[in-house]
């Protein structure tokens, strides 16, 4: 099956919090490959915390997270982060004085991936997110926000992870660039069978995801019913159409009445 990541009753509170002050409470879900997931929720609801647990940056002490049926608590987390999980941060986390290509090669070096020609592979990855070699040779500092975000995505793909976690990846981008970045994520899920988990405040991102969740601080994660939402929207559209039809019929009736009145008036005059 395509299930790759399982959260099983995950609870989390920061060390300096009060004993009952949980950020995450009883979060359970199985994420599949081939899908884009959006996790929404108010600021402070625990979205970044959840990504930190999934990426092994924070340790899950209550409940269990498994990747490909192995508990994270039993895995070498550095290796896990450098091979299984790609992370895309809102602030990109690129080294600004290195070129885009150098950033990607560095990531391949850290993950110890065996690639014959790392430079060639870096250029291919950049091309897959719509950046040519010229841009690849430019220092990241001299790329636009949208371009830097593409480099960050290309870098997260450099060791071919199955899961990509993205924290507010379009938070600083305009609507069109957001759509372009979303298309990259959708292609990665639907054509390359990756599991993409995006934390976002953007309704546009949520609308374009395959599954959407709402996270509530200390309360858990609720799955939103996209089908119902669609139906509601469709119901709304149908209701609007019906109202318009009623208006048209009324207008026609009025016109007919007016014409009949005119006719009977002219007959009376005669």
Binding residues for ligand ATP, rule: CB under 6 A, are 14, 16, 23, 41, 43-49
Q: Does 55 bind Mg ion (CB under 5 A)?
A: no
CB-nearer residue toward ligand ATP: 46 or 86: 46
Report the distance separating Cα 38 and Cα 40, nearest Å.
6
Which residue in 22, 36, 48, 155 binds Mg ion (CB under 5 A)? Answer: 48
- What is the smallest separation between the CB atom of 47 and ligand ATP, expressed in angstroms? 4
CB-nearer residue toward ligand ATP: 7 or 154: 7
Q: Does 200 bind Mg ion (CB under 5 A)?
A: no
CB-nearer residue toward Mg ion: 48 or 170: 48
- What is the smallest separation between the CB atom of 45 and ligand ATP, expressed in angstroms? 4
Where do we find the tokens 């990747």? 67
Burial class (CB in 10 A: 0-12, 13-18, 19+), 247: exposed
- What is the smallest separation between the CB atom of 91 and Mg ion, expressed in angstroms? 11
Per-residue tokens: 189: 């899920």
Closest Cα partner for 196 from 86, 89, 104, 65? 86
46 binds, among Mg ion, ligand ATP, none (CB under 5 to 8 A by kind): ligand ATP
Closest Cα partner for 168 from 39, 59, 45? 39
What is the sign of the dihedral through the CA atoms of 176, 181, 185 and 188? positive
What is the sign of the dihedral through the CA atoms of 56, 5, 214 and 86? positive
Report the distance separating Cα 153 and Cα 155, nearest Å.
5
91 binds, among ligand ATP, Mg ion, none (CB under 5 to 8 A by kind): none
Closest Cα partner for 84 from 164, 168, 190? 164
How far is C-alpha 109 from the chain's CA centre?
A: 27
CB-nearer residue toward ligand ATP: 43 or 69: 43
2 binds, among ligand ATP, Mg ion, none (CB under 5 to 8 A by kind): none
Report the distance separating Cα 60 and Cα 11, nearest Å.
8
CB-nearer residue toward ligand ATP: 46 or 56: 46
49 binds, among Mg ion, ligand ATP, none (CB under 5 to 8 A by kind): ligand ATP
- What is the smallest separation between the CB atom of 224 and Mg ion, expressed in angstroms? 19
Q: Does 111 bind Mg ion (CB under 5 A)?
A: no
CB-nearer residue toward Mg ion: 26 or 90: 90
CB-nearer residue toward ligand ATP: 23 or 87: 23
Report the distance separating Cα 171 and Cα 91, nearest Å.
9
Q: Which stretch binds Mg ion (CB under 5 A): 46-54, 79-87, 174-182, 203-211?
A: 46-54
- What is the smallest separation between the CB atom of 6 and Mg ion, expressed in angstroms? 23
b (16+ CB within 10 A) / e for 101-132: bbbbbbbbeebeeeeeebeebbbebbebbbbe
Site for Mg ion in 130-169 (CB under 5 A): none
């Amino acid at each position: 099956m395509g299930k790759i990541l399982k959260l099983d009753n995950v609870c989390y509170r920061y060390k300096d919090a009060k004993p009952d002050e949980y950020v995450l409470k009883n979060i359970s879900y199985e994420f599949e490959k081939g899908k884009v997931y959006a996790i929404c929720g108010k600021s402070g609801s625990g979205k970044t915390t959840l990504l930190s647990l999934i990426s092994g940056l924070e340790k899950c002490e209550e409940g269990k997270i498994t990747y490909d049926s192995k508990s994270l608590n039993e895995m070498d987390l550095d290796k896990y982060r450098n091979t299984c999980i790609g992370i895309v941060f809102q602030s990109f986390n690129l080294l600004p004085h290195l070129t885009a290509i150098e950033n990607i090669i560095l990531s391949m070096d850290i993950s110890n991936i065996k690639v014959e020609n790392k430079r060639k592979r870096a250029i291919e990855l950049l091309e897959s997110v719509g950046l040519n070699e010229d841009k690849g040779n430019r220092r990241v500092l001299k790329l636009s926000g949208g371009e830097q975000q593409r480099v960050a995505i290309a870098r997260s793909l450099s060791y071919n992870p199955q899961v990509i976690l993205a924290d507010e990846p379009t938070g600083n981008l305009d609507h069109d660039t957001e759509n372009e970045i979303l298309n990259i994520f959708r292609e990665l899920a639907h054509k390359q069978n990756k599991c993409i988990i995006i934390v976002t405040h953007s309704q546009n991102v949520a609308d374009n995801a395959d599954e959407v969740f709402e996270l509530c601080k200390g309360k858990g994660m609720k799955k939103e019913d996209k089908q119902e939402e669609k139906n509601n929207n469709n119901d709304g559209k149908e209701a609007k159409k019906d109202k318009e039809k009623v208006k048209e019929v009324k207008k026609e009736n009025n016109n007919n009445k007016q014409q009949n009145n005119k006719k009977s008036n002219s007959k009376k005059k005669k």
